[in-house]
Amino acid sequence: MRLKVIGFGEKILNEQIDLITLAEEYQEYFKSPIAAALVDNKLQELTYVLEQKDSTIKFLDLTSDIGMKIYVRTLTFLFIKACHDVFPDCSVHIEHSLGDGLYCEIYGSEPLTEECVEDIENRMRQMVEQDLPIKKKSMPTDEAIKMFREMGWDDKARILKYREEPEVNIYELDGMPDYFYGYMFPSTGHLKWFKLKFYLPGIVIQLPNKENPTKVAPYHEQPKLSRVFREAERWGRILGIADVGSLNDYILKGKSGDIIRVSEALHEKKVAEIADKIYRNRDRIRIILIAGPSSSGKTTFAQRLIVQLKVNGLRPLSISLDDYFVEREKTPLDEDGKPDFEALEAIDIKLFNNQLARLIQGSEVILPRYNFHTGEREYDEIPTKIKKDQPLIIEGIHGLNERLTASIPKENKYKIYVSALTQLNIDNHNRIPTTGTRLIRRIVRDSWNRSASAQKTISMWPQVMRGAEKNIFPFQEEADIMFNSALVYELAVLKKYAEPLLSSIRPGEAEYVVANHLLKFLDYFVPIEDERDIPLTSIIREFIGGCSFYNE
């Protein structure tokens, strides 16, 4: 058979071969371990045996998103196994990302100490040195459910009963079976880069990243983000929903309306609390800056905040940062020579600060309006002037960056970070990444709001994420407060909208791998068909339509 190995030309094989054997021939040309490969544009793990036919192979190492996810997933399995070796009767929960790592909690009869964390890390490193095999086997779904129930892992049994396939893939490490959503490395010897940090009451697994895949990234303290995740956990307890399986149980019992009403009430309570804080400091807060990554629901949040501020007797004025774009020919270029509309330099910072300062001091200004069709700035005919009881609300990607409003004293600003920090996991060992939820939101919204296909949205997503990593995430701890826009029920609503859009992407297309991954992920959810209980002011309405704040 003839193989076309992307980046390396053709190779003729006269016998069957698995990917791990083939990868060994090319490993020296990669910066980090090869984790998987695209075989004819379909993702395959390294144990995959190539069929006797001509194929195109693209190897993926840890510098790729897919490769790094496989590394983290396999390292998670190693961590869980080590925890059970040190504490045989414990329960391990992989909670969420934190400080460029993964925050986890261990529940057992003994309190967690620094020495316990050292014992777990030592056991992990011992298994890495032993290069233990990670075996994959197919098992009838009903047998897997029975096995996990006998192990006391009810969360696994709960989610597997919603899998429609008659069989599921189970991984086994040193005698311990587990179920994971996604592929693994074939052995522990690949997992050389990690470190454990005791972070009461749990542990942070410090990880490498795809930019520097063979070095553990330094830990960055994120106390505000940590508090938001703890709040999300508390909300989960209020709702009585621990994971996707328990959410599905509630939906099938006809209780989705209760979940929606309580989730929305929690959101409204939080928005009201933020408005109350601003009101209490109304004599000094003149500018409210709202920022967050794409598809976080910033626009709807801003509108709901305006309503709550009005309830408090304030009369906020909303200004769009987009109206201060420089003229299109002056837009800075990115590393690929393309216009970088997300760069801070794409904003006329001088004009922006000048007008803010004048407004705060009670002067009239002629506000700009950016014409996205011509790429030029236009101006209102009527001047704008505000009174002291009118705070300015500014929503934009750079809201948390102090350089944007450098001429305005910090005491006159209130910064809000908005993001969909998912409080729901598939089960105790399989978390739902925030980026996945936001991508599904955007795919659904783009299809009806911008007439954009799922293929186009997925193709643009890496650029969107690069912009967030450069312009938003580094400044998130600068926020005065964070708002978690995730709704525990939202993926059950988004499912019916997203699935047909994702299914339209064919296997030969570059975006198929991501689309197929998202489709398999959505399979875990029982859909919520009846949307009558979703308020017209809900964050989720920004993505599925029907929001009362917009003219659609």
DSSP state of 425: B
Burial per residue of 76-86, b for 16 or more beta-carbon CB atoms within 10 angstroms, e otherwise:
bbbbbbbbbbb
Residue of 378, 370, 369, 376 whose CA lies nearest to 327: 376
The domain in which residue 293 lies consists of 224-316+391-544
DSSP state of 405: T
Residue 463's contacts (CB-CB under 8 Å, 6 or more residues apart) are none
Mean pLDDT across 241-254: 94
**What CATH number is associated with residue 8?**
3.10.20.30
Which of 166, 190, 219 marks a domain boundary?
A: 219
> Do 135 and 202 sit in the same domain of this protein?
yes
> Do 211 and 239 sit in the same domain of this protein?
no
Q: Is pTM beyond 0.85 here? A: yes
Note the pLDDT of residue 552: 43
Rounded CA separation 549/552 (Å) = 9
Q: What sign results for the dihedral spanned by CA atoms 165, 155, 136, 202? A: positive
> Do 13 and 73 sit in the same domain of this protein?
no
* Total domain count, the chain: 3
Q: Would you say residue 502 has pLDDT above 90?
A: yes
> Do 522 and 395 sit in the same domain of this protein?
yes
Q: Which two tokens stand for residue 65?
A: 């998103």
Residues 255-271 pLDDT 10s = 999 999 999 999 999 99
Mean pLDDT across 457-462: 93
Note the pLDDT of residue 551: 55
Residue 151 counted as domain residue: yes
The rounded percent of the chain whose pLDDT value lies above 90 is 75
Amino acid residing at 460: M
Residue 508's contacts (CB-CB under 8 Å, 6 or more residues apart) are 41
> Do 508 and 464 sit in the same domain of this protein?
yes
CA dihedral 223, 224, 228, 234 (to 10 degrees): 50
Residue 49 counted as domain residue: yes
Residue 345 counted as domain residue: no
Asked whether the bond before 201 is cis by omega within 30 degrees of 0, the reply is yes
Rounded CA separation 430/364 (Å) = 54
Residues 263-311 pLDDT 10s = 999 999 999 999 999 999 999 999 999 999 989 999 899 999 999 999 9
> Do 209 and 241 sit in the same domain of this protein?
no
Specify the DSSP element, H or E, that contains 138. Answer: strand 134-140
> Do 446 and 512 sit in the same domain of this protein?
yes
The alpha carbons of the chain give a radius of gyration, in whole angstroms, of 25
Residue 90 counted as domain residue: yes
Question: CA-based diameter of the chain, in Å?
Answer: 81
Residue 328 counted as domain residue: no
Q: Would you say residue 251 has pLDDT above 80?
A: yes
Residue of 386, 388, 389, 347 whose CA lies nearest to 368: 347
pLDDT class for 109, splitting at 50, 70, 90? Answer: confident
Q: At what angle do helices 114-130 and 65-86 cross, to 10 degrees?
A: 120
Residues pairing with 59 in the sheet: 37
Specify the DSSP element, H or E, that contains 130. Answer: helix 114-130
Which of 219, 247, 272 marks a domain boundary?
A: 219
> Do 404 and 539 sit in the same domain of this protein?
yes
Q: Which two tokens stand for residue 17?
A: 């071969």
